[in-house]
Amino acid sequence: MRHYSSDPATGAGQTQNGAAATDPESANPPGLLEVRNLSMSFGHGQSSLLAIDKVSFAVKPGEILGLVGESGSGKSITLRSILGLTKRYGQVEGEILWKKQDLNTLTNRALQKIRGREIAMIFQEPMSSLNPLLTVGLQITENLKAHTKLDRTERKKKAIELLDLVGIPSAAARLGDYPHQFSGGMRQRVMIAIALASEPELLLADEPTTALDVTIQQQILDLILALSREMGMSVIMVTHDLGVAAQTCDRIAVMYGGRLVEVGPVRNILRNPRHPYSIGLLRSVPENVPPRSELYSLPGIPPGLGNRPSGCCFAPRCLAATPRCSEEKPDLLQTSEKVALACFNPQNFLSGNSQ
Amino acid sequence: MTDASLARKKRFSFFKRLQGLQPGFIAGLTILGFSLILATFPAFFAPYDPNVFDFTALQSPPTALHLFGTDNLGRDTLSRVIWAYSVNMQMAFLATIFSLITGVLVGAVVGYYRGVADIIFGRCVDAIITFPFLVLVIAVVAVLGPGLINMYIAITLVGWVYYARLMRAEIMAQMANDYASAGKVMGYSDSRIIFRHLLPNAITPVIVYWMTDMALAILLGSSLGYLGLGAQPPEAEWGVLIAEGRNFITTAWWLSLMPGIAIVITGFGFSLVGDGIADLLRPRG
Amino acid sequence: MTDTQPLLQVKNLTHHFKTNPPLVDLLLRRAPRFIKVLNGIDLHLERGETLGVVGESGCGKSTLARCLVGLYPPQGGEILFDNQNVSHKTRAEQRDYNRRVQMMFQDPYSSLNPRMTVGQVLHEALSVHKMRPEAEIPDRIDELLDLVSLPRDAAGKLPHEFSGGQRQRVAIARALSVEPEILIADELVSALDVSVQAQVVNLLLDLQDRLGLTILFVAHDLRLVRHVSHRVAVIYLGSIVEIGASDSVFSSPVHPYSRALLNAAPSIDPDHKTSIPPLSGELPSPMNIPPGCAFHGRCPHATEICRQEKPLLKKFEGHGEIACHHAATLA
């Protein structure tokens, strides 16, 4: 067993080739983004509330990583902390290595150059993140102006291309439309088009389909997936829906109570989860169970920010908890080449139907 | 759990809330508390009879004998300001309470039922709001004749509209919540839904507005007193006092200044309490 | 089931909201425009069953739920409860109907009055409907809290002291306090976390079995609907396109829209890729619903007849009822 959070190279070796992990300069591409021991707490001093606690993970070029968890697990805060969006609410500690540069130490001005250009972000509510008073065309060209050297006509051409790329019919005609003239799914496409304007290497997607209907969700997920494959763009996707994660992500990181509890390739996590929380989450999804049978349900509710237990956050709801669990926080340790786990008593999930 | 223990628990949580009060709220409560005491027992605190002439001290500046000085007839300004508390505090309450009651009732009913009543109400509001408040009140007083009672009537005739408008908006906002729909599905009567469910949740901004409105009523009453349309001399009322001091502003500044300070402090007290109440009544969660 | 009559019958229910006309329309005296939310819904509820209602947002499923409990005054069509036409003519009739047909809402944070304790909420429901003599009400409140697995001291607490899942339990207790026969659950668990969803769904299923409740389960989460429902209705633009036994609708949907919708739910199995391509286009505006079959603009099988004639629900052997001109070939 290796200590996951203190090994700088684990991220690079996570998914594909564990043997090469110790040599970061080998043929194995290094992690594009490496987050090490990232903590974020709201407020300062005595009354501060720890929202995320020593989160470490890495994203490789072209990879789609899913951050999965329930409300209050800290998944959105983790995502927002990467771009320094949470700094004004409290303290952010740890390293966020982006191309050998620690984003956490950068000034806001320096971060501005990376935001939107190298790392772009899309949100759950496209309406609240688009400016309602500006036309969609203007908002895209604005972004192109800030991040590329294209001239006016080229920018317009590029804007049409982008709208076309994200599947907005008669793109040229819609440049002059305002956000409210688009439907929810179309707005999300516009947001993605704006995010793509600078050809980012990493896209941070915060519940991009939660506000959408399933048929539209499917379209948007397919779009993100295709764009990632075509442009070699990495994606970190925050979602609470295991189905969404299963259908889009290469790797999944499960969060609970502000900590990562299990990280690994999507098939490992969804077929053979070891952490009791991952198991419980998976089993409470009513798929492949007899209709109207009693669903597996985790007892209790997720802890709030202010009342997280001192030991493992999941211990009070965990059926496999031992006294040690309520005293000590388990570290995220590498259990196999690809999977890391934070649990003293890993369980086995009987694959498929567990009834 | 019995009803008694329920009630005890509620009272307990109310006190718990009181403990964490804002300093501003406490200051406001103190000011209003003192004002109320002065208004209730002016004779106890005033050193002199407010209407007795002291010809040995005409237009005396503030001295140890007359802390706030005296006027041209030798009346003690401090005593007159203290006696004015009872008139002005009464004015704050009486000029607003009927507006509050009418406005809340009309606003709640109109906001709940909408329809034709709402359209008629909307036109009334438009008509009244286009005129400046003071001008309208003066017009009504001019018709009814000067005096305190007529002033209360005038202010109520115009003032209820502002309460009703606020109440209507709040009720409509609350009706968007599912608990209002749930009430209907439970088969509750309209009056139960309006008064038991919607009103307690909608009233907070109205109460806060009431506090500031009481401060405004003091100002308004003083203005009307100053103009000779409200309280009539020789009654001690801050506006009347300021008006009386007007002629001597260059030689006896204290005559207008002292009642002016009383107006400012009391108004400030109402505003602070208004803010504090807004904090206190906000439902948790 | 000895009772052959369905408990609730809905016949050709329509509901159109009038839009607030813009000033230009008023000046030009244009006809007012309507949002056609429900366009002829026919369905029935058998005693003791769960009917799931699925569809995309804006399809009218929530409006249907609200029409059924009388929150929206009836416009076209009929609702028959126990073979009686529900006209909601007087308050007393409405109240009596609502005692027997209750509803639970989606948002656990707005469906409870923030200033009333759980005890007060239940007490009010019990005393207004005179469900128990005044003296027995406290005991009944304890019973109701037990029923929804809330601790008894919950009675003294205000809604903000509870989690979302617990608030939904309170809402269930409130609905059950009047001992209704039908529960309308409008997105009851949609706002809850997955692990908490399972608790509430288990509770609902358990209560249904114990109390013999009939449930209309409106939700957009297809997996949940499949799990709880005996029968399922798929709604598109205010019309039912397919209705039938949950098993058959989910495992072999016939209507092209049901196929696309039911296949769009992402499976938790990473290797389970859907064979049906995603639907193109988006829901047309309910202000101008396409003539003929409302789905023809997005349907891969649409032909001339679909553009002209609105298909009616027809029974197909081995399937439920389907409103599609090409159902025979697709089935």
For B182-228, what is each residue's pLDDT tens digit? 999 999 999 999 999 999 999 989 999 999 899 889 888 888 888 88
Report CB contact under 8 Å: C102, B185: yes
Distance to chain C for B128, nearest Cα, Å: 24
**Chain C 158-217, CB below 8 Å of chain A: which residues?**
163, 165-166, 193-199, 201-202, 205-206
Q: Please give the share of chain A, as a percent, with pLDDT higher than 70.
A: 90
- Cβ–Cβ < 8 Å for A346, A274: yes
Max Cα-Cα span within chain C:
68
In CATH terms, the fold of domain A2-118+200-341 is Rossmann fold (3.40.50)
Q: Which two tokens stand for residue A60?
A: 């490789």
pLDDT in tens, B161-189: 999 999 999 999 999 999 999 999 999 99
Of all residues in chain C, the one with the smallest CA distance to B178 is C111
pLDDT in tens, A176-229: 889 888 888 888 888 888 888 888 999 999 998 888 888 888 888 988 999 899
Task: Tell me: ipTM over 0.85.
Answer: yes
Give the model's confidence band at A6: pLDDT under 50 very low, under 70 low, under 90 confident, else very high: very low
The pLDDT assigned to B281 comes to: 75
B20 or C229, which is more confident? C229
Report CB contact under 8 Å: C112, B201: no
Cα dihedral sign, A68-A71-A74-A77? positive
Give the model's confidence band at A25: pLDDT under 50 very low, under 70 low, under 90 confident, else very high: very low
Tell me the average pLDDT across C157-179.
94
**Chain C 127-166, CB below 8 Å of chain B: which residues?**
128-129, 138, 152-153, 155-156, 158-161
| C-alpha span between C216 and C52 (Å, rounded) | 6
- Cβ–Cβ < 8 Å for A308, A258: yes
Check whether A22 has a pLDDT greater than 50: no
**Domain regions of chain C by residue span:** 8-24+32-110+180-330
Exposure string of A35-54, with b = 16+ CB inside 10 Å and e = fewer, is bbebbbbbeeeeeeebbbbb
Phi, psi (rounded to 5 degrees) for A202:
-135, 130
Judged by 3 or more CB pairs under 8 A, whether C touches B is: yes
Check whether B7 has a pLDDT greater than 70: no
Closest partner residue to C195 among A70, A266, A267, by Cβ?
A70
Residue B254 is part of a domain; what is its CATH number? 1.10.3720.10
Helix boundaries (H) for A204-265: 214-231, 242-248
CA triplet B259, B265, B267: central angle to 5 degrees?
Answer: 100
| C-alpha span between C229 and C240 (Å, rounded) | 16
Please tell me the CATH code under which domain C8-24+32-110+180-330 is placed.
Answer: 3.40.50.300
- Residue-averaged pLDDT of chain B: 86
| C-alpha span between B131 and B151 (Å, rounded) | 17
For residue A177, with 0-12 CB atoms within 10 Å meaning exposed, 13-18 middle and 19 or more buried, which class applies? middle
Check whether B146 has a pLDDT greater than 80: yes
Tell me the average pLDDT across C265-272.
87
Helix boundaries (H) for A71-213: 75-82, 108-114, 126-129, 136-147, 152-165, 171-174, 184-196
Report CB contact under 8 Å: C110, B184: no
Q: How many domains does chain B have?
A: 1
Closest partner residue to B6 among C109, C110, C119, by Cβ?
C119
> Would B61 be classed as within a structural domain?
no
Cα dihedral sign, A131-A135-A141-A145? negative
Looking at the DSSP bridge assignments, the partners of residue A115 are: A119
Q: Please give the share of chain C, as a percent, with pLDDT higher than 90.
A: 64
Helix boundaries (H) for chain B: 3-19, 23-40, 42-45, 77-113, 115-130, 133-144, 148-175, 178-185, 190-192, 199-202, 204-227, 238-246, 254-281
Sheet holding C8-18, edge to edge: C34-45, C8-18, C76-81, C84-85
The pLDDT assigned to C262 comes to: 86
| Interface mutation target, options B119, B185, B203, chain C, most CBs of C under 10 Å | B185
Looking at the DSSP bridge assignments, the partners of residue A2 are: A334
Distance to chain B for C251, nearest Cα, Å: 35
The pLDDT assigned to B275 comes to: 87
A147 or A270, which is more confident? A270
| C-alpha span between C324 and C306 (Å, rounded) | 8
Closest partner residue to C195 among A243, A281, A291, by Cβ?
A281
**Chain C 233-252, CB below 8 Å of chain A: which residues?**
246-247
Give the model's confidence band at B12: pLDDT under 50 very low, under 70 low, under 90 confident, else very high: low
Check whether A10 has a pLDDT greater than 90: no
Its domain, for residue B211, covers: 23-46+70-171+201-281
Looking at the DSSP bridge assignments, the partners of residue C184 are: C103, C216
Q: Which two tokens stand for residue A305?
A: 């920010």
Check whether A112 has a pLDDT greater than 60: yes
Tell me the average pLDDT across A108-129.
85
**Domain regions of chain A by residue span:** 2-118+200-341
Tell me the average pLDDT across B141-150.
88
pLDDT in tens, C85-119: 887 678 888 899 999 999 999 888 899 999 999 99
**Chain B 199-258, CB below 8 Å of chain C: which residues?**
200-201
| Interface mutation target, options C193, C222, C263, chain A, most CBs of A under 10 Å | C193
- Residue-averaged pLDDT of chain A: 85
| C-alpha span between C147 and B141 (Å, rounded) | 64
> Would B220 be classed as within a structural domain?
yes
The pLDDT assigned to A215 comes to: 83
| C-alpha span between A33 and C331 (Å, rounded) | 50
Check whether A84 has a pLDDT greater than 50: yes
Report CB contact under 8 Å: C111, B5: no
Interface chains of chain A (3 or more CB pairs under 8 Å): C
Looking at the DSSP bridge assignments, the partners of residue C9 are: C44, C80
Phi, psi (rounded to 5 degrees) for C148:
-100, 15
- Say whether the peptide bond before residue B62 is cis (omega within 30 degrees of 0): no
Using a CB-CB cut-off of 8 Å, the residues of chain C touching B179 are 110-114
